[in-house]
Amino acid sequence: MSFDHLRATYFEESAELLESAYAQLSDLAEGREDGETVHALFRAIHSIKGGGGAFGFDRLVRLAHGMETLLDLLREGTLPLDAAQVALLLRGADALADLLAAERGGTAVAAGFEDALMQAFRIAAEAPAGAPRVVAAPATAAPVDLPEGWRIDFRPRPELFRNANEPLLLVRQLQRLGPVTVTADLTRLPPLERMEAEDAYLDWHFVLQAAVPRGSVEEVFEFVADDCELTISPIAAEVVAEADTPQEAAPAEIAPVAAQAVAATTPQAAAASQPAAQSMRVDVQKIDRLVNLVGEMVIGQAMLVQHAGSLPPDLCPGLTAGLETLSQHLRELQEGVMSIRTQPVKSVFSRMPRLVRELSAQLGKDVRLVVTGESTEIDKTVVEQLADPLTHLLRNALDHGIETPDQREAAGKPRQGTVHLSAAQRSGRIVIELSDDGRGIDRARVLARARERGLVAPDAVLSESEIDELIFLPSFSTAATVSAVSGRGVGMDVVRRNIQALGGRIALESRFGSGSRFLLSLPLTLAVLDGLVVSVGREAYILPIAAIVESLRPRPEDIHAVVGRGDVLSIRGAYIPLLPLHRHFAVPEAEADPSRGIVVIVETDHAGQLGLLVDDLVGQQQVVVKSLEANYGRVEGIGGATILGDGRVALILDIPGLGLGQGRVAASAPRSPATPSALQ
Amino acid sequence: MAKRVMTVDDSRTMREMVAFTLRKAGFEVSEAADGKLALAALQAAPVDVVITDLNMPNMDGVALIRALRADPRMRATPILMLTTESEASKKAEGKSAGATGWLVKPFDPEKLIDVVKRVAG
Amino acid sequence: MDLPMNPNAQPASFGAQAADGAGGTAGQFITCTLDAAEFGIDIMAVREIKGWTETTAIPHAPSWIRGVINLRGVIVPILDLRARFGMAATSATPMHVVVIIQIGARLAGLLVDAVSDIIDVAPGEVRPVPEMGAQAPECLLSGLVPLERGMVALVSLDALLNFGEEVLAMPATLNA
């Protein structure tokens, strides 16, 4: 543990706190709050401030303090909560996020960045008249001439011990300042039969022989000042006006401690045996080690099953049953371990409201973001890598999808546009949906643009979904799509590539005039992959099922040689370039005749659909993804490796990366559309 | 034997800072994220000093102090409140619930060690 | 080869080679044979020695990369040491031996004919490798040790495992 570690903890925690603050603010904005919401929000901001103070992040602390002051009034009900305040607090949270990011990255935020906001918080908080202010008393300047020592009369109130304060400790503390003479005064000591064991009866007189400031002496008695009569007088200076008036003895609150203790024991015991939902932080590496180990066990189990299968079935009847039980437990164990790595999509969804706020302000649009299913869990790595594609899609929706309020009104729509972002788990995959009620895709314009760019043959007739697919082509962007917000550089092809790199797929449904809907389908985890094992020569490769469109044994008449481009496969009127894997990977002794092998049609992003020629299909199975890079390096077209049931290594193809070495294939050939139905 | 201290705070940063500071000073430190968890843990294994935040979910600092003072085994355990300047009224409430002393956030590490030593004896 | 026999008369370049990480030149070495030649592998880097098993070929790999194997769940590349030193590829049989080494966090297997001995080498016993040009396989050696039975060439494991760039020098991609 080091200071850097503490800092890292602080930033990590602050990010979590901000995330929850955003969630609470959105609850407030949507009227979903309960009694706890403002308190929780206050605590979040308070914690960010507290830690920030410890690290000397002064600007951040001031801003958080401004927010806290307002929140304090809101939570006490001194101020009524309205939309303007929620908006202001949201801006505050945004600014806190920026300041945090700057501190974390060691970059500077422009001076005065938060000034207007601070002012706004002050004005908002000052609205109620006479809000109580705690004014710190100015510290009185210490006298320049220190006395030779101090005489201290300490008369504790009986309940001194209730707070676990102890005169002996005070004496020890005084002794650290200098030599102390202690006299106990027994006058208040009652007869034994009237003595309460837990009350303080002794008065003390201390003489401290040390030329220290009064403050040092007062500090010793800091915690007991309210529980005693204390007189501190300098020894040398004979005549000193006693500035310290002894505390007036407030009536002692003598609580029936013993009775309380007995009564309280039972409920506390109950509380102890029923702890709140607990969580603990675990190093991701430890989890990954578990994931790996379980992966090993799955492989080991597959090997056992394979060996057992080669035995005569009646040789050992218990073996099959035992293996079956083992397999089932292993599957459960695997799911359990994988679930540790998962995380709610909330952590990425929660960044979106800010984006929508900022963009709608920038674009002059009125947009409401409705988020559902944010507690859906998905692999941590997937969550982290979802942020970019989602941000891009959301920008697109706001920039191109949602119209301005006037346009919407003219089109007979509500002035406020709505964007829905949802996540849900469907049959072992996570489906994320982003829909808007904007203008939808103008297919005539998309098609015209695609023809212009030579992406589609002039005479080709495309279906609506085929046209929608065009926007996923590399560097496809209609003139109208270039703007300050969405920019020109990153296209939908990159979004698709990002999603595919996560083993996912993306599809689009759109209705011109009434909106668009993007569907992202993602695997629950990256550590395990549903794969198709294929053989090429003596090698076996794994094709990720997610990328496979179909597989077939082509008829010789469907294979056509295209000069300079190799073979193409004609299928239902479309031409798909063929990539013989044995040639691509230089595997000897493989089937070279497509009509005697199998063609697996896969979806790549750079080359559209591609037919991979393999010798045979071996089977479909879940494989544990292993790194090839760790000990070797990156290999083009290979995404990783796995271990098959017989213990041998098989390489996993990186389908999106496969087309790369091929160059652009058959750019003018009409493409068969990616089937959105494959998403289900 | 090293004195045992428990730090109770819903802010992990704050907890870790307290723990870090005190461990360096030779204390044995345990952590709890709210009053309820702290109480459960303390009833299972008491410590020598408790340092608690006031504003926490589930069971706040004042309630924790009250609960600890009600337990005969922890009647004499020093309890320090970790407060901010803005929590003056809370501080008084904590005090009357039985807190031994207080520290103001953000704390100075030396002051923290000093105060813990002061109340732990 | 004409080698300076005076240990104090080592050329300056030798110092640099000697300081070269886990391939440092003094200490215990496992010696292995490739035909008649004997090579020394720093024993500190050796994780295990196992018999040859079939490998899975890696596309676009240099000829001296035999492929990868599954070493208790970890994917480990196997280098054909004979091919790496510019000789013909080994026709591996189950009698051949793979020495698993670890440099840093990186694991690799070296395919050799057999493991013959463990030798103790004192710093003064190591002779520099004569300059044979930067491309020569000799730059994969960190020193030579004359023994009664002949010369043992110490393998520079760092140089041997430093094949990242060569591996990455793939057919041009459109990635840029």
State the complex-level ipTM: 0.79
- In degrees, rounded to 5, the angle at the alpha carbon of residue C120 between the alpha carbons of residues C118 and C125 is 130
Does residue A635 have a pLDDT over 90? no
Give the dihedral of Cα atoms A424, A430, A435, A440; nearest 10 deg: -150
Question: Which residues lie closer than 8 Å to C152 by C-beta, 6 or more apart?
Answer: C29, C31, C38, C39, C40, C119, C144, C145
Indicate the residue of A539, A635, A660 with minimum beta-carbon distance to C175.
A660
C-alpha B88: how far from its chain's center? 17
Instruction: Report the C-alpha gap between C39 and A261 in whole angstroms.
Output: 79
Does residue A73 have a pLDDT over 80? yes
Residue in chain A lying closest to B38 (CA): A272
Could you count the other beta carbons within 10 Å of the beta carbon of residue A61? 21
Residue C166, domain member (yes or no): no
Give the three-class secondary structure for A436. strand
Give the three-class secondary structure for A451. helix
For an interface test with A, which of C56, C69, C98 has the most A Cβ atoms less than 10 Å from its Cβ? C56
Q: Do C74 and A626 lie within an 8 Å CB cutoff?
A: yes
Q: Do A164 and B70 lie within an 8 Å CB cutoff?
A: no
Q: What is the pLDDT of residue A437?
A: 93
Give the three-class secondary structure for A337. helix
* Tens-place pLDDT, residues A525-556: 776 777 899 999 999 999 988 788 889 998 98
Q: What is the pLDDT of residue A201?
A: 85
The CATH number of the structural domain formed by A344-523 is 3.30.565.10
CB B107 within 8 A of CB B118: no
Q: What is the 3-state secondary structure (H, E, C) of chain C?
A: CCCCCCCCCCCHHHHHHHCCHHHCCCEEEEEEEECCEEEEEEHHHEEEEEECCCCECCCCCCCCEEEEEEECCEEEEEEEHHHHCCCCCCCCCCCCEEEEEEECCEEEEEEECEEEEEEEECHHHCECCCCCCCCCHHHHEEEEEEECCEEEEEECHHHHHCCHHHHHCCCCCCCC
Query: How confident is the model over B3-21, as a mean pLDDT?
Result: 90
Structure-model confidence comparison of residues C56 and A447, the more confident one: C56
Q: Yes or no: is domain A150-234 CATH 3.30.420? A: no
Helix spans in A77-203 (H) = 83-105, 115-126, 167-175
CA distances from residue A594 to A598, A608, A610 in whole angstroms, order as listed: 7, 20, 14
Q: Which of A91-95, A176-180, C27-31 is predicted with the least confidence, judged by mean pLDDT?
A: A176-180
Q: What is the 3-state secondary structure (H, E, C) of chain B?
A: CCCEEEEECCCHHHHHHHHHHHHHCCCEEEEECCHHHHHHHHHHCCCCEEEEECCCCCCCHHHHHHHHHCCHHHCCCCEEEEECHHHHHHHHHHHHHCCCEEEECCCCHHHHHHHHHHHHC
pLDDT band at B64 (very low <50, low <70, confident <90, very high): very high
Tell me the shortest Cα–Cα distance from C164 to chain A, in angstroms: 6
Indicate the residue of C57, C164, C174 with minimum beta-carbon distance to A606.
C174
Tokens of A113: 């960045």
Indicate the residue of C65, C75, C164 with minimum beta-carbon distance to A641.
C75
The residue written with tokens 């071996």 in the block is: A618
Query: How confident is the model over A163-180, as a mean pLDDT?
Result: 84
Provide the β-strand partners of residue C99. C49, C110
Give the dihedral of Cα atoms A308, A312, A313, A317; nearest 10 deg: -80
The CATH number covering residue C41 comes to: 2.40.50.180
Does residue A344 have a pLDDT over 60? yes
Could you count the other beta carbons within 10 Å of the beta carbon of residue A136? 7
Question: Which residues lie closer than 8 Å to A309 by C-beta, 6 or more apart?
Answer: none
Does residue A119 have a pLDDT over 80? yes
CA distances from residue B53 to A43, A79, B48, B82 in whole angstroms, order as listed: 11, 26, 17, 5
The reply to whether B11 touches chain A by the CB within 8 Å rule is yes
Provide the β-strand partners of residue A436. A419, A516
CA neighbours closer than 13 Å in the CB half-sphere of residue A390: 30
For an interface test with A, which of B8, B9, B13 has the most A Cβ atoms less than 10 Å from its Cβ? B13
Q: How many structural domains does chain C have?
A: 1
* Superfamily of chain region A528-679: SH3 Domains (2.30.30.40)
CB A531 within 8 A of CB A623: yes
Indicate the residue of C65, C70, C174 with minimum beta-carbon distance to A649.
C70
* Tens-place pLDDT, residues A323-334: 888 888 888 888
* Tens-place pLDDT, residues A447-479: 888 888 777 777 778 887 778 888 887 767 654
* Tens-place pLDDT, residues A369-388: 999 988 888 888 788 888 88
Q: What is the pLDDT of residue A582?
A: 92
Q: What is the mean pLDDT of chain A?
A: 78
Q: What is the mean pLDDT of chain C?
A: 77
pLDDT band at A271 (very low <50, low <70, confident <90, very high): very low
CB A392 within 8 A of CB A537: no
Q: What is the pLDDT of residue A110?
A: 83
For an interface test with C, which of A497, A631, A643 has the most C Cβ atoms less than 10 Å from its Cβ? A631
Residue A143 DSSP one-character state = P
A-B contacts at Cβ under 8 angstroms = 124
Query: Which chain A residues are closer than 8 Å to C72 by Cβ?
Result: 296
Domain positions in chain A? 3-126, 150-234, 284-338, 344-523, 528-679
Instruction: Report the C-alpha gap between C57 and C69 in whole angstroms.
Output: 9
Residue in chain B lying closest to A37 (CA): B57
Q: Do C73 and A628 lie within an 8 Å CB cutoff?
A: no
In percent, the amount of chain C with pLDDT more than 90 equals 32
Does residue A143 have a pLDDT over 60? no
Tell me the shortest Cα–Cα distance from A140 to chain B, in angstroms: 19
Instruction: Report the C-alpha gap between C88 and A324 in whole angstroms.
Output: 48
Q: What is the pLDDT of residue A219?
A: 84
Tell me the shortest Cα–Cα distance from A414 to chain B, in angstroms: 41
Query: Which chain A residues are closer than 8 Å to C58 by Cβ?
Result: 628, 632, 635, 638, 651
Element (H, E) at A640: strand A638-643
pLDDT band at C25 (very low <50, low <70, confident <90, very high): low
Q: What is the pLDDT of residue C132?
A: 62
Which of residues 151 through 170 in chain A touch B, CB cutoff 8 A?
A: 161-166, 168-169
In percent, the amount of chain A with pLDDT more than 90 equals 13
Give the dihedral of Cα atoms B70, B72, B74, B78; nearest 10 deg: 80
Structure-model confidence comparison of residues C173 and A60, the more confident one: A60
For an interface test with C, which of A536, A538, A539, A632 has the most C Cβ atoms less than 10 Å from its Cβ? A632
DSSP assignment of A551-564 equals EE---GGGEEEETT
CB A118 within 8 A of CB A62: yes
* Tens-place pLDDT, residues A8-31: 888 888 888 888 888 888 888 887
Tokens of A27: 């609850």
Instruction: Report the C-alpha gap between B108 and A213 in whole angstroms.
Output: 21
CB A620 within 8 A of CB A530: yes
Instruction: Report the C-alpha gap between A305 and A319 in whole angstroms.
Output: 9
Residue in chain B lying closest to A272 (CA): B40
For the A3-126 domain, the top CATH level (class) is mainly alpha
* Tens-place pLDDT, residues B88-115: 778 888 888 899 988 887 777 888 888 9
Domain that holds residue C138: 26-151
CB B74 within 8 A of CB B46: yes
Query: How confident is the model over C89-109, as a mean pLDDT?
Result: 91
Q: Is C89 left (phi over 0), alpha (psi -120 to 50) or beta?
A: beta
Residue C111, domain member (yes or no): yes
Query: How confident is the model over B14-42, as a mean pLDDT?
Result: 89
Do B and C touch, 3+ Cβ pairs within 8 Å? The answer is no
Give the three-class secondary structure for A77. coil
Q: Is B4 left (phi over 0), alpha (psi -120 to 50) or beta?
A: beta
DSSP assignment of A505-554 equals EEEEEEETTTEEEEEEEEES-SSEEEEEEEEETTEEEEEEGGGEEEEE--
Query: How confident is the model over C8-36, as a mean pLDDT?
Result: 58
CB C151 within 8 A of CB C145: yes
Q: Do C69 and A649 lie within an 8 Å CB cutoff?
A: yes
Q: Which of A113-117, A246-250, A426-430, A611-615 is predicted with the least confidence, judged by mean pLDDT?
A: A246-250
CB C127 within 8 A of CB C32: no
CB B93 within 8 A of CB B85: no
Q: What is the pLDDT of residue C137?
A: 57
Question: Which residues lie closer than 8 Å to A51 by C-beta, 6 or more apart?
Answer: A10, A13, A14, B11, B13, B14, B17
Q: Are strands A377-379 and A417-426 parallel, antiparallel or unpaired?
A: unpaired
CB A599 within 8 A of CB A552: yes
Does residue A311 have a pLDDT over 90? no
Instruction: Report the C-alpha gap between A287 and A337 in whole angstroms.
Output: 8
The residue written with tokens 């072992």 in the block is: A428
CA neighbours closer than 13 Å in the CB half-sphere of residue A537: 16
Residue C6, domain member (yes or no): no
Provide the β-strand partners of residue A621. A531
Element (H, E) at A469: helix A464-470
Chains that touch C (3 or more CB pairs under 8 A): A
Residue C145, domain member (yes or no): yes
The reply to whether A198 touches chain B by the CB within 8 Å rule is yes
User: Which residue pairs, CB below 8 angstroms and at least 24 apart, start in A110-119?
Assistant: A114/A59, A114/A62, A114/A63, A117/A63, A117/A66, A117/A88, A117/A91, A117/A92, A118/A62, A118/A63, A118/A66
pLDDT band at A127 (very low <50, low <70, confident <90, very high): low
Tokens of A481: 């799509």
Query: Which chain C residues are closer than 8 Å to A606 by Cβ?
Result: 174
Structure-model confidence comparison of residues A140 and A645, the more confident one: A645
Query: Which chain B residues are closer than 8 Å to A164 by Cβ?
Result: 75-79, 98, 100, 119
Does residue A96 have a pLDDT over 50? yes
Query: Which chain C residues are closer than 8 Å to A299 by Cβ?
Result: 73
Query: How confident is the model over C76-104, as a mean pLDDT?
Result: 91
Q: What is the pLDDT of residue A279?
A: 64
CA neighbours closer than 13 Å in the CB half-sphere of residue C144: 17
Report which listed range, A77-81, A321-325, C62-66, C135-139, is most confident.
Answer: C62-66
- The full set of domains in chain B, from first to last, is 4-120 (3.40.50.2300)
Q: Do B56 and A162 lie within an 8 Å CB cutoff?
A: no
Chains that touch B (3 or more CB pairs under 8 A): A
Indicate the residue of A10, A164, A172 with minimum beta-carbon distance to B13.
A10
Reference B12, options C174, C91, A17; nearest CA is A17
The reply to whether A626 touches chain C by the CB within 8 Å rule is yes
* Tens-place pLDDT, residues A221-266: 888 887 888 888 887 644 333 444 444 444 444 444 333 333 333 4
Query: How confident is the model over C90-119, as a mean pLDDT?
Result: 91
Instruction: Report the C-alpha gap between A672 and A573 in whole angstroms.
Output: 9
